[in-house]
């Protein structure tokens, strides 16, 4: 298995936080599971908010600020004649 820089960063982050808990006597044994992984590495990073592979006519992509950071949004614009 080949590791990228981000994987190594997360491994060291888990080791550092686990060592900190042991040194501060919070825990004697550390078990990192899928359930407590966010305690060690944080919430997952969103990689893509794309709704469409190719944006259809009448839809524009925009940016919005949310509590989680920037988010891509889709807005539909249509013109109707009466």
Structural domain that includes position 30: 1-43
* Residues 34 and 55 placed together within one structural domain of the fold: no
Tell me: the pLDDT tens digits for 11-21?
A: 888 888 888 88
Give the DSSP letter of residue 52.
Answer: -
* Residues 38 and 5 placed together within one structural domain of the fold: yes
Q: What is the pLDDT of residue 80?
A: 67
Structural contact between residues 40 and 18, judged by C-beta atoms closer than 8 angstroms: yes
More confident residue, 25 or 76: 25
Tell me: the pLDDT tens digits for 66-75?
A: 776 777 677 7
More confident residue, 54 or 79: 54
Q: What is the pLDDT of residue 13?
A: 87
* Residues 3 and 38 placed together within one structural domain of the fold: yes
Report percent pLDDT > 70 for the chain: 76
Structural contact between residues 32 and 18, judged by C-beta atoms closer than 8 angstroms: yes
- Smallest CA-to-CA distance from 62 within 48, 51, 72 is with 72
**Residue indicated by tokens 């990228």:** 4
* Residues 38 and 2 placed together within one structural domain of the fold: yes
* Residues 53 and 19 placed together within one structural domain of the fold: no
Residues paired with residue 66 on neighbouring β-strands, in sequence order: 69
* Residues 60 and 78 placed together within one structural domain of the fold: yes
pTM of the model: 0.46
What is the number of structural domains in the chain? 2
């Amino acid at each position: 298995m080949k590791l990228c820089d981000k994987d190594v960063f997360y491994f060291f982050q888990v080791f550092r936080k686990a060592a900190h808990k042991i040194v501060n006597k919070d825990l004697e044994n550390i078990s990192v599971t899928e359930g407590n992984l966010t305690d060690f590495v944080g919430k997952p990073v969103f990689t893509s908010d794309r709704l469409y592979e190719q944006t259809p006519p009448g839809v524009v992509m925009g940016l919005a600020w949310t509590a989680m950071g920037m988010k891509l949004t889709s807005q539909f614009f249509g013109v109707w004649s009466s």
